[in-house]
Structure 1
Amino acid sequence: MLFFSKRKLRVLVLVLGIAFLIAATTRAVIQFQLGEEVNHYNTYFSTHKDSLHDIYDPLNIKQIPYETINVLYENRVMEEGQRQKSIDWSKFAYVSYATEPEYLCNTVILFEKLKQFGTKAKLVVLVSKDLLDSENSDQIVCERLLERIREVDSEQVVIKLVDEIAKPKDSTPWNKSFTKLLVFNQTEYERIIYLDSDAALFDSMDELFFLPSYVNFAAPLTYWFISESDLQASYKERRSDNKTPVKLESVIKTLNTRAKKGQPIYNHLPSLPSSLVFRSGKIAKEITESNSLLANLFKLRRGTTSSRVKFASDIMVIKPNSLTFQKIAQLLIPNSWGQKEQYDMDLINDGLYNLKEIINSQFLLFRKLRSAFVPEVMVLPFGKYGLLTGSVRERFHHELMANDILGYKKSQDATGPSLDSLVANCKYIHYSDWPINKPWLYSSFDELKCKPKDKNEELDVEMCKTWNSILQGFWDSKHMCQA
């Protein structure tokens, strides 16, 4: 009896071993064939991009330089000037939200500045109903601030009272950040520029309303997760002659020429280096793993193996969509309640716009029917739209700020651009410099004023001076909140 048991066990082990070998071999063959297909299409789109129409590269996430965004905007404004196609600004909106009185104050500042910069788009703020509750000690303050927001422009400003979305049993400062996801449901607008209100604004961003029509979502990247080795790897991946990084100016020149002529630009846009998306650097391997039976059994957790970068959520360009919001409200938010340290940005990247999953789904659709795939996402340059105040005092981040189309380099002199010019180039800077709190939590500017560690070190002095100028701007604008 024991003999037969051992024999059966050996047979079972042998069968399992053969099954594993067959599965591993099959997987290796599939990965090899997929790798060959990936290489083929990468070459195809590189060599045929000038002649392709209505066929889009599915294997890359595209970055769009500011200069090209601006050309698209100028084209649209020119059309309106020639009365070929008027712009209905009521269909475009800047949107922010507030669940605390301090954020209402900064909304006043943002809206006042947008008005000064000449935007004609709607200015929408989503306000938690709890702020106006009679039991709220800040009710009177909030009512006064809402009146100040209305005074910015009674026709342009839209105030919407909403039920805030707070994470249960969570006492962190971010537990109400899910409320911002209501922006995806503002379907009366064709396109929205969402802005966190804890930021400094330096110019209009109307040009973002006129990104290519197929773009449903665009945002800068979380560049602060990039290391020096990541950046060098991204340069190496994009080198044209195996020695020097691709110069961005030549790419922009081609893009702008095509944009001015009304020609397709998508396949000419800079691609986000795959080394920042696929951690192994092997696209075919990770696509195969994403489509394995095991991965499909755990779809809700597929986003947990993240890329080196994600989309930031402090500024987003969105085409609101009721189906997208339905997914957020009915699936993604409830699933996030049980996840520790998962908030709005994590939900957006894991549930909606995971970079690896986007490429995976794009390529699968493209393989079935080329013309069926139309891109939906695009990466905005963080040096123009998405800096953190903390980056001003992070030396390595200065190189990132100067080369915000990742994998490509801008032509510079030996010393590179000054920190002042890099910051002056940015339109929107987020107050984020942990462990430093938001500026309104200090009673005076002197409490958080930056002091150089070494007064004899020129860059140290410059970093503090530039950082102070940004934060001083908040104090200089606080009077806007007064009645």
Structure 2
Amino acid sequence: MLYATTELTMCNALIMARNIRRLGTPPSIPIVILISAALETQQHAWTATVEATHTKMTFVEPWISQSMRGESSIWRESLTKLRIFEERGYDRVVYLDSDMWLHRNLDHLFALTSSDDSASVDETLHKAPYDDRLAQLRPLHVQGEGGRGASDSMLWAPRAYYISPQPFFASTLLVFTPSNARFRQLSQAVAASTRPDYYDMDVLNDVWHPVTFLPPHYVVLNADLLAPDSNLLGFANASDRIANTYAHHYSSLPNGKYGKPWEVERPPNNKWRTKRKSSPLMYELFDLYLDAKDRECPWLRRQDTAKSLPSTHGYLWQLIFGSNARR
């Protein structure tokens, strides 16, 4: 499942949908994009990609932060993401932020059970034959009127290894059982908060207990590619860490400053200015994104690419530039 609130984030969601299919997820597993109802009149622009990737569009009411009503802030609709937890007839959802580049298939996550811990996720499920993993997928069914209780809503998420103090999980990749009751808890927590910078990752960490942590290499910041030997996440070397990473989350520009790939132009002669210790993958990820944006989103207006994605990035701004840059 993905979500989009602007033309730019819709473009990113379509790029992610294409990569999900490229990595082997079959059409029998639906890709659902929750889309702000404000974009419904523009859906003709991306119909071809939606059909080609066997993607389902579901239009939802955008969730505008009360503290940002009337503002043009890029964060004002970021809480729309929390609608992924509403029950829509699925027993298990794998959610991805769309400002990432996916490297490996994630279908094994559908087969997680309450007995799986962070060690067994990689060592057992990923080694299972692909067809066996599909056979383990829980059947989809529509819940009755009452829906699931909050205690029935399990959640797995990667550890946000870049945040202190721990434990703290990232909301870039989430595996969960949807629950209207849990969604109401999230809604109530948002309504009760007086913080102006209360984003999806904040409320999820405040409300959702217990959580099973996925290994941190499921989602790694692309900033770590600037000094790949500095954060091995338990692997023997940087090459092993990179080879085992499922997704890189764009958090840094090629020059090392915080930023997103749609904020950069291709360099002259397509040659990036590289940093001495950086991995070549750091720059390849920008080429991959820019190529995909040109290919999948010819309808995207140039001025839209200057806007940032509403998601968990307030944390990354705070970590890299300090609290004043969070918004």
Whether these two folds match at TM > 0.5 is yes
In the alignment of these two chains, the number of paired residues is 253
Conserved in 1, the CA contact under 8 Å of 2:2 and 2:95? yes
Higher relative contact order by CA 8 Å / sep ≥ 6: 1 or 2? 1
Query: Are 1:380 and 2:195 counterparts?
Result: no
Separation in 1, partners of 2:225, 2:104: 19
Q: How many Å apart are 1:464 and its aligned residue?
A: 4.9
Distance, in Å, in 1 between the alignment partners of 2:248 and 2:228 is 17
Equivalent residue for 1:344? 200
Aligned residue identity for 1:465: P
Within the candidate set 430, 443, 451, 2:273 is matched to: 451
Partner of 1:223: helix, strand, or coil? coil
Tell me, yes or no, if the aligned pair for 2:190 and 2:198 is still in contact at 8 Å: no
Query: In structure 2, do the counterparts of structure 1 residues 217 and 476 end up closer, same or farther at CA, with 3 Å as the change threshold?
Result: same
Secondary structure of the corresponding residue to residue 309 of structure 1: coil
Q: What CA deviation, in whole Å up to 9, does each residue of 1:400-437 have, x standing for no partner?
A: 2xx1xxxxxx5x4xxxx2x3442232121111127432
Instruction: Give the match for residue 476 of structure 1.
Output: 291
Residue 37 of structure 2 corresponds to residue 99 of structure 1: no
Q: SS at 1:433's partner residue? A: coil
**Structure with the largest fraction of helix:** 1
Amino acid at match of 1:127: I
Q: Which has the larger radius of gyration?
A: 1
The residue that corresponds to 1:424 in the other structure is: 243
Give the conservation status (yes or no) of the 8 Å contact 1:164–1:176: yes
Question: Residue deviations 1:264-321, cap 9 Å, x none?
Answer: xxxxxxxxxxxxxxxxxxxxxxxxxxxxxxxxxxxxxxxxxxx423110011001001
For 1:332, the equivalent position in structure 2 comes to 189
State TM-score, norm by structure 1. Answer: 0.48
Q: What CA distance in whole angstroms lies between the structure 2 residues aligned with 1:328 and 1:214?
A: 25
4+ aligned runs moved over 6 Å, structure 1: none
Superimposed CA distance per residue, residues 72-125 of structure 1 (whole angstroms, 9 cap, x where no aligned partner)? xxxxxxxxxxxxxxxxxxxxxxx0000111111121111112222221311000
Change (3 A) 1:448 1:126: farther
Distance 2:100 2:51 in 1: 21
Alignment CA distance shift 1:446-1:314 (3 Å): farther
* 1:220 matches 2:158: yes
Q: Helix, strand or coil for the counterpart of 2:181?
A: helix
Residues 242-253 of structure 1: matches in 2 within 5 Å? Answer: none
Shift of 1:344: 0.4
Is 1:115 equivalent to 2:21 in the alignment? yes
Would the aligned equivalents of 1:180 and 1:344 in 2 still touch at CA under 8 Å? yes
2:254 matches 1:442? no
Determine if contact 2:171/2:201 at 8 Å carries over to the other structure.
yes
Kindly provide the CA deviation profile for residues 457-480 of structure 1, in whole angstroms up to 9, marking residues without a partner as x: xxx1xx152210122111222213
Report the CA distance shift for 1:447/1:129 in structure 2 as closer, same or farther (over 3 A). Answer: farther
Instruction: Give the AA of the match of 2:61.
Output: D
> Is the 8 Å Cα contact of residues 159 and 168 (structure 2) preserved in structure 1?
yes
Amino acid of the structure 2 residue aligned with 1:387:
V
How far, CA to CA, are the matches of 2:228 and 2:297 in structure 1? 34
* Residue 399 of structure 1: aligned partner: 232
- Distance in structure 2 (CA, Å) of the matches to 1:453 and 1:113: 28
Look up the match of 1:62: none
Superposed CA RMSD:
2.6
Among candidates 119, 128, 153, match of residue 36 of structure 2: 128
- For residues 57-456 of structure 1, the aligned pairs below 5 Å read 95-120=1-26, 121-132=29-40, 139=42, 143-145=44-46, 147-153=47-53, 156-170=54-68, 171=71, 172-213=73-114, 216-225=154-163, 307-329=165-187, 331-336=188-193, 338-353=194-209, 358=210, 377-383=211-217, 385-394=218-227, 397-400=230-233, 403=234, 412=236, 417=237, 419-433=238-252, 435-445=257-267, 451-454=273-276
**Paired letter, 1:179:** T
8 A contact 2:49–2:296 mirrored in 1: no
Residue 232 of structure 2 aligns to a residue whose secondary structure is: helix
Report the counterpart of residue 304 of structure 2 in structure 1: none
Rounded Cα–Cα distance in structure 2 between residues aligned with 1:110 and 1:481: 12
Question: Paired residue for 1:465?
Answer: 280
Letter in 1 for 2:172: D
Contact 1:451 / 1:464 at 8 angstroms: preserved in 2?
no
TM-score using structure 2 length: 0.70
